[in-house]
Structure 1
Amino acid sequence: MSSNTPLLEVEELSVAFGGRGSTPVRAVDGVSFSLEEGKVTGLVGESGCGKSVTSLALMGLLPERGVEVDGRAVMQLPKGPEDLLSLPQRRMRDLRGSQLAMIFQDPLSSLNPVVPIGRQVTEILKRHRGMRGQAARKEAADLLHRVGIPDPARRLDEYPHQLSGGMRQRALIAMAVACRPKLMIADEPTTALDVTIQAQILELLRDLVTEEGTALLMITHDLGVVAGLCDDINVLYAGRAVERAPRRPLFAEPTHPYTVGLLGSIPRLDAPRGEPLSPVRGSVNDNIDWTDGCAFAPRCDHYTMECLQGPPPLVERGDRDHVHRCVNPVGNAGVAERTTLETSAVVGEEEDR
């Protein structure tokens, strides 16, 4: 594969849900992005913006009935490029675990509660690497040790409920990296963890990306996680990307009002005591159809009548790597000062590594 060729190129991905006789609900509406080896790409937005549906579509885990998936997701595989969205389930089962893997949000519900951890890990080794018996068990123990689980040989015989939340998440990561996949998708992997364990999991994911050259798609609503982990960021709203940029330009000079609103919702350590946060008003349900205009307009303090004149296109902001979907973007004056204070230390620390 050429060094300039993305590992995964997603083009105009759309997912619509709807039963017979009902109006389809478009959860993902023309999302495009690319993933490169050795880099972390973030999908950011509130719950209901289409992040998890995007990941399930790429993994081929959406139900076959009542769901319509359009677009392309071309991945560079050993036998050549293949479109993940058009592959039969038999082929996807061969790829899941070996070439692409997913770390789910809730480890307790993602693991089989009546099967020991060791058996769940060795099942992957048996399916994709042909390992059996003691060789598979030793490899499973090595994987648990690699992700930081103490006394891994004993943990192999324990059940998920006997492990802490952090160890269960580490076990899921061990299963995800068992076959050294080229692509990993992490769907809110730190939501249920305390801040100390969260930092350890994020450091572990970054190390895996660096050491193995894996491409990681990080799905989160936590901009602190984004600042410390992601290289490129896609901000989603109502199923569409409203801003896309590398990490530093996005935090230093955000232009879409939704991105600015998300950043304004972050608590700041240097803020005066008692100063209220500035959350985005309304909810994700307060939107209009993209065909009528900008879906964010009902919640936006900067909208004009031009925002309601049809779907806004993605526009380059000086640099083609920084694009936004807004006809009345937020001015940069003062934005950098407001947004980089809480992220510059984290970003600088990551760049020094």
Structure 2
Amino acid sequence: MSSSTPLLAVDELSVVFRGRGSGEVRAVDGVSFTLEEGRVTGLVGESGCGKSVTSLALMGLLPDRGVEVGGSAVMRLPDGSENLLKASRRRMRDLRGSQLAMIFQDPLSSLNPVIPIGRQVTEILQRHRGMRGAAARKEAADLLHRVGIPDPTRRLSEYPHQLSGGMRQRALIAMGVACRPRVMIADEPTTALDVTIQAQILELLKDLVTEEGTALLMITHDLGVVAGMCDDINVLYAGRAVETARRRPLFAAPTHPYTVGLLGSIPRLDSPRGEPLTPVRGSVNDNIAWTDGCAFAPRCDHYTMECLQGPPPLVRLENGDEAEHVHRCVNPIEHAEVVDRTVLDGPAVVGDDEEERR
């Protein structure tokens, strides 16, 4: 959403899983977005909307058999640009860690349980920065210290199960930033962490973006995290982006019924005691194929017969803002009475003044 050349431009990304006798599952269906230096871009939606599959496709971590990946993901590298989706397995091993990195959702299963933390960090330093021995170990300790792990030298010899959940997540972040990657993907990085640790992890990621100029892709279903972290937001449903905007326009005036439903599911501090939430009815499995109409129609309270007459196009809103605000809906919400403005105006928003200056 900027005139500058993005670090990563994803265009019409699609991922189709095919099984024997089970047909095909289109997990990602034409997703497009950009990641820019020093900015946080959010992929938001319920579980099953295609967020994590998108990240695995960009990292080259999907299996070769039974998966068809289409579209393009062009990354700006020091020596030119390259389509990550066309890169070989060997080339992706060179890029992962050095140019792009990922923080996975579950640190306990992402870390090797039988290898000390120190060795897992130094392995990255050896592979991509050529560091070995005492120099690599000192750099690993510095990385653990940087992400807030106490007594980092001692922690180098400890195994993942000896660390708390917050420290394991910090260790993953240390591994991710070890080579100062240009693009970082964080897939639900605060899942299963208590609120205090969540705030610390998010602040750490925000500092990484600010200090290193990293482009961060934040994958989450937590709109509180989105309000405090993301500059640009893409709301996904059934593998497609249904609304895309900068943070303030999206929270102030969402237009797609799915976005409004997600916002209506957020508890409000100023709501009367006992007032029920208004979540989106049904489940993510209650949809139709995009080729037949709007996939959200079976769950939407605003659908008309026009919603079932082919795939809805992306429509750009004329709001006088340089940044695009687009939605995929033939019957959009013209105003958003249910939006929780405390998400925007309350103290939870990080860097709100900075957003106003842009």
TM-score by length of 1: 0.97
Give the whole-Å Cα distance in 2 for the aligned partners of 1:239 and 1:347: 29
2:265 paired residue number? 265
Query: 2:347 & 2:55 partners in 1: Cα distance?
Result: 27
Shift of 1:79: 1.7
| SS of residue matched to 1:61 | coil
State the Cα deviation string for residues 121-154 of structure 1 (Å, max 9, x = none): 0000000000000000000000000000000000
1:343 counterpart residue number: 344
| 2:134 pairs with 1:138 | no
Please name the residue that 1:8 is paired with: 8
Aligned to 1:213: 213
In 2, Cα distance between equivalents of 1:134 and 1:266: 49
CA-CA distance at 1:78 after TM superposition: 1.4
- 1:232 is matched with 232
Structure 2 match to 1:78 = 78
Aligned partner of 2:90 in structure 1 is 90
Match for 2:327: what amino acid? H
- Identify which range, 12-21 or 213-222, moves more after superposition: 12-21
Kindly state the Cα deviation for residue 346 of structure 1 after the two structures are TM-superposed: 4.0
Deviation at 1:82, TM superposition (A): 0.2
Residue segments in structure 1 that go unaligned for 5+ positions in a row: none
Which amino acid letter does the alignment assign opposite residue 207 of structure 1?
Answer: D
Which residue type is aligned with residue 323 of structure 1? V
- 2:255 corresponds in structure 1 to 255
What does residue range 121-160 of structure 1 map to in structure 2 within 5 Å?
121-160=121-160
Determine the C-alpha separation between the residues in 2 that align with 1:116 and 1:210: 30
Deviation at 1:350, TM superposition (A): 1.9
Distance 1:346 1:23, change over 3 A: farther
SS at match of 2:29: strand
The residue number in structure 2 matching 1:120 is 120
Is the contact made by 2:255 and 2:336 (CA closer than 8 Å) also made in structure 1? no
TM-score under structure 2 length normalisation: 0.96
In 2, the alpha carbon distance for the partners of 1:236 and 1:58 equals 16
C-alpha distance in 2, partners of 1:75/1:221? 26
Stretch of structure 1 that moved more, 306-315 or 15-24: 15-24
Report percent identity of matched pairs.
83
> How do 1:1-353 and structure 2 match up within 5 A?
4-319=4-319, 321-332=324-335, 334-335=337-338, 338-346=339-347, 349-352=350-353
Contact 2:227 2:349 in 1 (8 A): no
Of the structure 1 ranges 12-21 and 83-92, higher mean CA displacement relative to structure 2 is found in: 12-21
- Residue 228 of structure 1 contacts residue 346 of structure 1 at CA under 8 Å; is this kept in 2? no
Q: Give the distance between the partners of 1:324 and 1:352, measured in 2 at CA.
A: 26
Contact kept, 8 Å, 1:227 with 1:346, in 2: the verdict is no
1-structure distance, mates of 2:104, 2:327: 29
Q: CA deviation at 1:347?
A: 6.4
Return the alpha-carbon distance in structure 1 between the equivalents of residues 40 and 136 of structure 2: 30
How many angstroms does 1:340 deviate by? Answer: 1.3
Partner letter of residue 203 of structure 2?
A: E
Whole-angstrom CA distance in 2 between matches of 1:333 and 1:217: 27
Note closer, same or farther for the CA distance 1:198–1:236 as it changes in structure 2 (3 Å cut).
same
Cα displacement string for residues 210-235 of structure 1 (whole angstroms, at most 9, x for unaligned residues): 00000000000000000000000000
Deviations 1:192-214 (A, max 9, x none): 10000000000000000000000
Contact 2:228 2:349 survives alignment (8 Å) = no
State the 1:266 CA deviation.
0.3
**In 2: Cα distance, 1:118 partner to 1:271 partner:** 48
The letter for the 2-side match of 1:33 is: F
Counterpart CA distance in 2 for 1:78 and 1:222 is: 34
**Separation of aligned partners in 1, 2:262 and 2:306:** 23
In the alignment, is the contact (CA less than 8 A) between 1:269 and 1:342 conserved in 2?
Answer: no
Q: CA RMSD in A?
A: 1.3
Residue deviations 1:154-189, cap 9 Å, x none?
000000000000000000000000000000000000
The answer (yes or no) to whether the contact 1:11–1:71 under 8 Å persists in 2 is yes
For structure 2, which runs of at least 5 residues remain unmatched after alignment?
A: none
- 2:331 alignment partner AA: N
Shift in Å, 1:21: 4.3
